[in-house]
Amino acid sequence: MASVIAVSNQKGGVGKTTTTIHIASGFARKNLKVLCIDLDPCLSLSMHYRFGKRKARKDISHLYKEKNVILEDYILPTDVPQISLIHGSAFLYKLDKLLLENNQLKVSILKSRLKNLKNHFDYIVIDTAPGMNNLLFTSVFASDLIVIPMQADFLSMNGVSNFIDIIKAVEKLANQKFVYKFLINMYDPETDPNQKALQIIQRKLSSILFQTVVSYSQDFKKACNQCKSLLEFQPYSEGANQYIQLVEEICDLLA
Protein backbone atom coordinates (compact mmCIF):
# COMPACT_ATOMS: atom_id res chain seq x y z
CA MET A 1 0.00 0.00 0.00
CA ALA A 2 1.32 3.42 -0.98
CA SER A 3 2.85 5.90 1.44
CA VAL A 4 1.61 9.45 0.89
CA ILE A 5 4.06 12.37 0.82
CA ALA A 6 2.93 16.00 0.73
CA VAL A 7 5.47 18.57 -0.47
CA SER A 8 4.29 21.70 1.29
CA ASN A 9 5.18 25.18 2.45
CA GLN A 10 2.92 28.18 2.83
CA LYS A 11 5.73 30.26 1.29
CA GLY A 12 5.98 30.42 -2.51
CA GLY A 13 9.18 30.18 -4.54
CA VAL A 14 10.88 27.54 -2.40
CA GLY A 15 10.90 24.81 -5.06
CA LYS A 16 7.93 22.64 -4.09
CA THR A 17 7.15 21.51 -7.64
CA THR A 18 10.81 20.86 -8.45
CA THR A 19 11.09 18.84 -5.24
CA THR A 20 7.95 16.85 -6.09
CA ILE A 21 9.25 16.05 -9.58
CA HIS A 22 12.64 14.91 -8.32
CA ILE A 23 11.31 12.83 -5.43
CA ALA A 24 9.03 11.06 -7.92
CA SER A 25 11.94 10.62 -10.32
CA GLY A 26 14.08 9.20 -7.52
CA PHE A 27 11.42 6.61 -6.71
CA ALA A 28 11.03 5.78 -10.41
CA ARG A 29 14.79 5.22 -10.60
CA LYS A 30 14.29 2.49 -7.97
CA ASN A 31 11.56 1.02 -10.20
CA LEU A 32 8.82 2.02 -7.75
CA LYS A 33 5.36 3.03 -8.98
CA VAL A 34 4.55 6.66 -8.19
CA LEU A 35 1.37 8.72 -8.45
CA CYS A 36 1.91 12.49 -8.57
CA ILE A 37 -1.03 14.72 -7.63
CA ASP A 38 -1.13 18.38 -8.67
CA LEU A 39 -2.87 20.32 -5.90
CA ASP A 40 -1.75 23.74 -7.12
CA PRO A 41 -4.07 25.84 -9.36
CA CYS A 42 -0.96 27.11 -11.19
CA LEU A 43 -0.69 23.60 -12.72
CA SER A 44 3.13 23.61 -12.86
CA LEU A 45 3.37 19.90 -12.09
CA SER A 46 0.72 19.06 -14.70
CA MET A 47 2.52 21.16 -17.31
CA HIS A 48 5.82 19.44 -16.52
CA TYR A 49 4.23 16.09 -17.30
CA ARG A 50 2.39 17.71 -20.24
CA PHE A 51 -0.93 16.64 -18.70
CA GLY A 52 0.15 13.07 -19.31
CA LYS A 53 -0.02 11.35 -22.67
CA ARG A 54 -3.79 11.56 -22.93
CA LYS A 55 -6.66 13.59 -21.49
CA ALA A 56 -8.17 12.30 -18.25
CA ARG A 57 -11.92 12.39 -17.82
CA LYS A 58 -11.50 13.94 -14.38
CA ASP A 59 -8.96 16.10 -12.52
CA ILE A 60 -8.10 16.62 -8.86
CA SER A 61 -11.14 18.83 -8.24
CA HIS A 62 -13.44 15.91 -9.12
CA LEU A 63 -11.55 13.70 -6.67
CA TYR A 64 -12.59 16.04 -3.87
CA LYS A 65 -16.21 16.27 -5.00
CA GLU A 66 -17.02 12.64 -5.83
CA LYS A 67 -17.19 9.77 -3.36
CA ASN A 68 -16.76 6.87 -5.78
CA VAL A 69 -13.26 6.95 -7.24
CA ILE A 70 -12.82 4.98 -10.46
CA LEU A 71 -9.08 4.75 -11.09
CA GLU A 72 -9.27 4.97 -14.89
CA ASP A 73 -11.12 8.30 -14.74
CA TYR A 74 -8.21 10.08 -13.06
CA ILE A 75 -4.88 8.43 -13.75
CA LEU A 76 -2.72 9.67 -16.62
CA PRO A 77 0.46 7.92 -17.78
CA THR A 78 3.53 10.11 -18.29
CA ASP A 79 6.73 9.81 -20.32
CA VAL A 80 8.28 8.07 -17.30
CA PRO A 81 6.74 4.56 -17.19
CA GLN A 82 6.75 4.34 -13.38
CA ILE A 83 5.13 7.77 -12.86
CA SER A 84 1.42 8.53 -13.24
CA LEU A 85 -0.39 11.82 -12.75
CA ILE A 86 -3.67 13.20 -11.47
CA HIS A 87 -3.62 16.58 -13.14
CA GLY A 88 -4.61 19.80 -11.42
CA SER A 89 -7.42 22.26 -11.92
CA ALA A 90 -7.27 26.03 -12.27
CA PHE A 91 -10.53 26.13 -10.30
CA LEU A 92 -9.20 24.45 -7.16
CA TYR A 93 -9.55 27.68 -5.20
CA LYS A 94 -13.34 27.31 -5.51
CA LEU A 95 -13.16 24.12 -3.45
CA ASP A 96 -11.95 25.89 -0.33
CA LYS A 97 -15.46 26.84 0.84
CA LEU A 98 -16.90 23.50 -0.26
CA LEU A 99 -14.58 21.80 2.23
CA LEU A 100 -16.50 23.41 5.09
CA GLU A 101 -19.60 21.74 6.50
CA ASN A 102 -21.43 23.60 9.27
CA ASN A 103 -18.24 25.67 9.65
CA GLN A 104 -16.27 22.46 10.27
CA LEU A 105 -13.43 21.54 7.90
CA LYS A 106 -13.84 18.16 6.21
CA VAL A 107 -10.14 17.55 6.80
CA SER A 108 -10.21 13.81 6.09
CA ILE A 109 -11.75 14.06 2.62
CA LEU A 110 -8.55 13.65 0.56
CA LYS A 111 -7.31 10.80 2.73
CA SER A 112 -10.57 8.91 2.26
CA ARG A 113 -10.51 9.46 -1.53
CA LEU A 114 -6.95 8.14 -1.81
CA LYS A 115 -7.81 4.82 -0.15
CA ASN A 116 -8.96 3.36 -3.47
CA LEU A 117 -5.71 4.41 -5.15
CA LYS A 118 -3.15 3.26 -2.60
CA ASN A 119 -3.07 -0.39 -3.63
CA HIS A 120 -1.97 0.55 -7.15
CA PHE A 121 1.19 2.51 -6.22
CA ASP A 122 4.24 2.41 -3.97
CA TYR A 123 4.21 6.17 -3.30
CA ILE A 124 1.80 9.06 -3.79
CA VAL A 125 3.45 12.50 -3.93
CA ILE A 126 1.31 15.63 -3.63
CA ASP A 127 2.48 19.02 -4.90
CA THR A 128 0.62 21.67 -2.88
CA ALA A 129 -0.02 25.36 -3.50
CA PRO A 130 1.55 28.14 -1.40
CA GLY A 131 -0.59 29.87 1.19
CA MET A 132 -2.63 28.62 4.12
CA ASN A 133 -5.92 27.14 2.96
CA ASN A 134 -8.24 24.20 3.50
CA LEU A 135 -6.71 22.21 0.63
CA LEU A 136 -3.36 22.39 2.43
CA PHE A 137 -4.97 21.08 5.62
CA THR A 138 -6.45 18.10 3.75
CA SER A 139 -3.11 17.23 2.14
CA VAL A 140 -1.33 17.33 5.51
CA PHE A 141 -4.02 15.09 7.01
CA ALA A 142 -3.68 12.59 4.14
CA SER A 143 0.11 12.32 4.46
CA ASP A 144 2.46 9.82 6.01
CA LEU A 145 5.29 12.34 5.57
CA ILE A 146 5.34 16.09 4.93
CA VAL A 147 8.43 17.37 3.09
CA ILE A 148 8.86 21.12 3.60
CA PRO A 149 11.34 22.74 1.20
CA MET A 150 12.94 25.93 2.45
CA GLN A 151 15.85 28.15 1.53
CA ALA A 152 18.81 28.81 3.78
CA ASP A 153 18.00 32.43 4.49
CA PHE A 154 16.61 34.37 7.41
CA LEU A 155 13.24 35.12 5.75
CA SER A 156 12.62 31.40 5.32
CA MET A 157 13.63 30.77 8.91
CA ASN A 158 10.90 33.14 10.06
CA GLY A 159 8.33 31.01 8.23
CA VAL A 160 9.36 27.76 9.92
CA SER A 161 7.34 28.31 13.08
CA ASN A 162 4.32 29.36 11.00
CA PHE A 163 4.28 26.08 9.11
CA ILE A 164 4.82 24.05 12.26
CA ASP A 165 1.76 25.86 13.65
CA ILE A 166 -0.23 24.72 10.58
CA ILE A 167 0.80 21.11 11.21
CA LYS A 168 -0.11 21.40 14.89
CA ALA A 169 -3.53 22.78 13.94
CA VAL A 170 -4.17 19.73 11.74
CA GLU A 171 -2.83 17.45 14.48
CA LYS A 172 -5.39 18.94 16.84
CA LEU A 173 -8.20 18.35 14.32
CA ALA A 174 -7.02 14.81 13.62
CA ASN A 175 -6.04 13.94 17.18
CA GLN A 176 -2.81 12.42 15.89
CA LYS A 177 0.82 13.32 15.23
CA PHE A 178 2.28 13.77 11.75
CA VAL A 179 5.81 13.12 10.51
CA TYR A 180 7.43 16.14 8.87
CA LYS A 181 10.91 17.28 7.88
CA PHE A 182 12.36 20.43 6.39
CA LEU A 183 14.55 20.27 3.29
CA ILE A 184 17.20 22.90 2.59
CA ASN A 185 16.74 23.70 -1.09
CA MET A 186 18.45 26.04 -3.59
CA TYR A 187 21.46 26.33 -1.29
CA ASP A 188 24.35 28.49 -2.53
CA PRO A 189 27.53 27.56 -0.60
CA GLU A 190 29.38 30.53 -2.11
CA THR A 191 27.37 33.15 -0.20
CA ASP A 192 28.21 33.98 3.40
CA PRO A 193 24.57 34.65 4.47
CA ASN A 194 23.53 31.21 3.16
CA GLN A 195 26.36 29.55 5.09
CA LYS A 196 25.44 31.32 8.33
CA ALA A 197 21.73 30.62 7.92
CA LEU A 198 22.43 26.94 7.19
CA GLN A 199 24.47 26.60 10.38
CA ILE A 200 21.66 28.13 12.45
CA ILE A 201 18.98 25.99 10.78
CA GLN A 202 21.00 22.80 11.28
CA ARG A 203 21.49 23.66 14.93
CA LYS A 204 17.87 24.63 15.68
CA LEU A 205 16.02 22.11 13.51
CA SER A 206 18.36 19.12 13.64
CA SER A 207 15.62 16.66 14.67
CA ILE A 208 13.22 17.73 11.90
CA LEU A 209 15.71 18.43 9.09
CA PHE A 210 16.79 16.16 6.26
CA GLN A 211 20.55 15.63 6.16
CA THR A 212 20.49 16.12 2.40
CA VAL A 213 21.02 19.71 1.24
CA VAL A 214 20.00 20.47 -2.35
CA SER A 215 22.29 23.03 -3.98
CA TYR A 216 21.21 25.80 -6.34
CA SER A 217 22.03 24.97 -9.95
CA GLN A 218 21.03 26.27 -13.37
CA ASP A 219 20.89 22.62 -14.41
CA PHE A 220 17.46 22.33 -12.78
CA LYS A 221 16.10 25.04 -15.09
CA LYS A 222 17.72 23.42 -18.13
CA ALA A 223 16.11 20.09 -17.22
CA CYS A 224 12.77 21.79 -16.56
CA ASN A 225 12.85 23.40 -20.01
CA GLN A 226 13.03 19.88 -21.45
CA CYS A 227 10.19 18.67 -19.17
CA LYS A 228 12.64 16.31 -17.49
CA SER A 229 14.02 15.83 -14.02
CA LEU A 230 17.74 16.25 -13.46
CA LEU A 231 17.93 12.49 -12.84
CA GLU A 232 16.92 12.02 -16.49
CA PHE A 233 18.66 15.10 -17.95
CA GLN A 234 22.03 14.89 -16.17
CA PRO A 235 21.92 11.72 -14.05
CA TYR A 236 25.49 12.06 -12.76
CA SER A 237 25.24 15.72 -11.74
CA GLU A 238 25.54 16.98 -8.18
CA GLY A 239 21.85 17.89 -8.05
CA ALA A 240 20.77 14.44 -9.26
CA ASN A 241 22.93 12.77 -6.62
CA GLN A 242 21.50 15.01 -3.92
CA TYR A 243 17.95 13.97 -4.77
CA ILE A 244 18.99 10.32 -4.88
CA GLN A 245 20.29 10.79 -1.32
CA LEU A 246 17.04 12.51 -0.30
CA VAL A 247 14.93 9.65 -1.65
CA GLU A 248 17.04 7.18 0.33
CA GLU A 249 16.37 9.23 3.48
CA ILE A 250 12.64 9.24 2.72
CA CYS A 251 12.59 5.47 2.13
CA ASP A 252 14.33 4.92 5.47
CA LEU A 253 11.85 7.23 7.23
CA LEU A 254 8.82 5.44 5.81
CA ALA A 255 10.18 1.90 6.07
For the chain, what percentages of helix, strand and coil (3-state, to nearest 5) are there? 45, 20, 35
Closest residue by Cα to residue 171 from 149, 148, 141, 204: 141
Higher pLDDT, 83 or 159: 83
CA neighbor of 246 nearest in space, from 192, 191, 187: 187
Q: Quote the domain boundaries for residue 24.
A: 3-254
- How large a percentage of the chain has pLDDT more than 70? 96
Q: What is the number of domains present in the chain? A: 1
Tens of pLDDT, residues 144-154:
999 999 999 88
| CATH of residue 175 | 3.40.50.300
Banded pLDDT at 75 (limits 50, 70, 90):
very high
* Lowest pLDDT segment from 50-59, 91-100, 111-120: 50-59
The pLDDT of residue 59 is above 80: yes
CA 200-203-208 angle, 5° bins: 110
The pLDDT tens digits of the residues spanning 106-140 come to: 889 999 999 989 999 999 999 999 988 889 999 99
Measured distance CA(165)–CA(236) in Å, rounded: 38
Q: Is the pLDDT of residue 102 over 80?
A: no
Phi, psi of 155 (to 5 degrees): -65, -45
